[in-house]
Amino acid sequence: MESVQAIKQRFGIIGNDIKLNRAIEKAIQVAPTDISVLITGESGVGKEALPKIIHSLSHRKHGKFIAVNCGAIPEGTIDSELFGHEKGAFTGATQTRSGYFEEANGGTIFLDEVGELPLTTQVRLLRVLENGEFLKVGSSKVQKTDVRIVAATNINMFEAIEKEKFREDLYYRLSTVEIHLPPLRERKDDIHLLFRKFASDFAQKYKMPTIRLEDDAVKLLNKYRWSGNVRQLRNIAEQISVLEQNRSITYETLRSYLPDAGSNLPAVIKNQKSESDFSSEREILYKILFDMKGDLNDLKKLTLELMKDGNNGEKVQQENKTLINKIYGNESEIDYEQADEEDAMEILQIEHQKSSNPQPPVVEDKYHFAEEIEEEETLSLHDKELELIKKALERNKGKRKAAATELGISERTLYRKIKQYDL
């Protein structure tokens, strides 16, 4: 069995972090077996190196090694890519095609971004893991394959399972052994080593002197969060190697290449709400709506009792004191006759605004008419209100909601008036 150091030299892995060494050790240990492996870690940490290590140290090393980026294949064609298809299986299928699992028979297949697989494809993959069987798209013939599966993902699989975007049984099949690669910000001592390696490689590639970081620039390099991990570090090293004339890189020069370097030290806080947060908010809103619905039903019940009891309003108030306090607060002593008069006043004011004569009755306060009312208004308040309600119902062909809107009162108030006047 090769040592960790020998493997790092063989595959060009830079770094001495204990977490990185532990991940490589696990890859070396599981390589001789055929168990499936799931590699986890953020995007850009170098997950693609471990499947190559596992394949090269296994008894399948003389077989094919096929790497598939599941997130880069459209959902409509991924089944065909992985399992193949028969001629005429779908539009454009002009000939029979072998899929990756058929081509990789006897070797290893690396499924990168496996968390992006559609649920239907996950079912097919689960069958391959369980008994090595698969069906081509458009075929009813079961085929066998002997493939070692190594998968990788940068998403939180437990969250994906909770959101029903990834099958739980498939997760446990894939993660017989799980290997986690740490992000670059957790490998502080390796950051400068990697930068120097990249700078040396680009100097040879572009035939120019190697760039060197000054001490304060090295400190900035180590403090930066590196959300893109090794991939981002390599990109920055290449930019500086190509663009900078001065090969000694200062703090300010390096900072100009780092996105949001000032706000990115030491960490970035993502201002995003998770779906669980929105779920909690929905539950609160539902509770409020149910409470409001209950209050409305109680109010309807109270109103109905007041209508039935007629002049026994005080009795109803006493029996429903708690409910009235809940709805109206401390104003439990409600003058229903005064409320009726207020509704009538609203009707009169709206009718006068619609009239060709723009002279409305003079109102002294909220509930009482002034003494100076024109002589032509000879009808009593009761008769005038009754007349206006009848006209509104006639104009709207008996539709209470439309009539109430025209009169400027609530449908509940209009319903009470219809009962009161026996219309």
Contact by Cβ (8 Å): 226, 191: yes
Q: Look at residue 295 and tell me if it is in a domain.
A: yes
Q: Computed from CA positions of residues 368, 371, 376, 378, in that sequence, does the dihedral angle turn out positive or negative?
A: positive
Q: What's the chain's length in residues?
A: 423
Q: Look at residue 356 and tell me if it is in a domain.
A: yes
Domain check: are 13 and 60 in the same one? Answer: yes
Q: Which helix (H) or strand (E) holds 28?
A: helix 18-30
Say what the pLDDT of residue 76 is: 87
Say what the pLDDT of residue 210 is: 96
Say what the pLDDT of residue 364 is: 44
Domain check: are 117 and 65 in the same one? Answer: yes
Q: Computed from CA positions of residues 57, 60, 64, 70, in that sequence, does the dihedral angle turn out positive or negative?
A: negative
SS3 label, residue 15: coil
Question: Which of 284, 318, 334 delimits the end of a domain?
Answer: 334
pTM recorded for the entire structure = 0.62
Domain check: are 82 and 52 in the same one? Answer: yes
Q: Look at residue 264 and tell me if it is in a domain.
A: no
User: Which CATH number do you get for residue 63?
Assistant: 3.40.50.300
Domain check: are 199 and 69 in the same one? Answer: no
User: Which CATH number do you get for residue 196?
Assistant: 1.10.8.60
Q: Which domain does 27 fall in, by range?
A: 4-182
Contact by Cβ (8 Å): 108, 58: yes
Please choose, from the candidates 154, 192, 157, 162, the residue with its C-alpha nearest in 3D space to the C-alpha of residue 174: 157
Mean pLDDT of successive 10-residue stretches along the chain, which has 423 residues: 90 94 96 96 95 96 96 92 92 90 96 95 95 93 95 96 95 96 95 96 95 96 95 96 94 92 51 56 72 74 64 62 60 46 54 52 44 47 78 82 82 79 74
- Half-sphere exposure (CA, 13 Å, Cβ side) for 309? 16
Domain check: are 73 and 162 in the same one? Answer: yes
Q: Look at residue 317 and tell me if it is in a domain.
A: yes
Question: Which of 131, 159, 182 delimits the end of a domain?
Answer: 182
**C-beta contacts of 247-252 below 8 A and 24+ residues apart:** 247/209, 247/210, 247/211, 247/212, 248/211, 248/212, 248/214, 249/211, 249/212, 249/213, 249/214, 249/217, 250/214, 250/216, 250/217, 251/214, 251/216, 251/217, 251/219, 251/220
Angstrom CA distances, 228 to 45, 212, 271, stand at 8, 22, 18
Contact by Cβ (8 Å): 147, 128: yes
Q: Look at residue 302 and tell me if it is in a domain.
A: yes
Angstrom CA distances, 148 to 12, 207, 275, stand at 24, 42, 35
Say what the pLDDT of residue 315 is: 62
Domain check: are 27 and 145 in the same one? Answer: yes
Q: How many domains in the chain? A: 4
Question: Which of 334, 353, 379 delimits the end of a domain?
Answer: 334
User: Which CATH number do you get for residue 343?
Assistant: 1.10.10
Contact by Cβ (8 Å): 11, 186: no
Q: Look at residue 265 and tell me if it is in a domain.
A: no
Domain check: are 155 and 172 in the same one? Answer: yes
Structure tokens at 291: 């409470």
Domain check: are 230 and 302 in the same one? Answer: no
Cis status, amide bond into 361, omega within 30 of 0: no
Q: Look at residue 74 and tell me if it is in a domain.
A: yes
Largest CA distance in the chain: 114
Domain check: are 170 and 310 in the same one? Answer: no
User: By 3-state DSSP, what share of the chain in percent is helix, strand and coil, each rounded to 5?
Assistant: 55, 10, 35
Cα distance between residue 149 and residue 35, in whole Å: 8
Domain check: are 13 and 101 in the same one? Answer: yes
Q: Look at residue 166 and tell me if it is in a domain.
A: yes
SS3 label, residue 212: strand
Please choose, from the candidates 134, 130, 118, 133, the residue with its C-alpha nearest in 3D space to the C-alpha of residue 36: 130
Report the amino acid identity of residue 247: R
Domain check: are 59 and 105 in the same one? Answer: yes
Residue corresponding to tokens 């798209």: 137
Domain check: are 323 and 345 in the same one? Answer: no
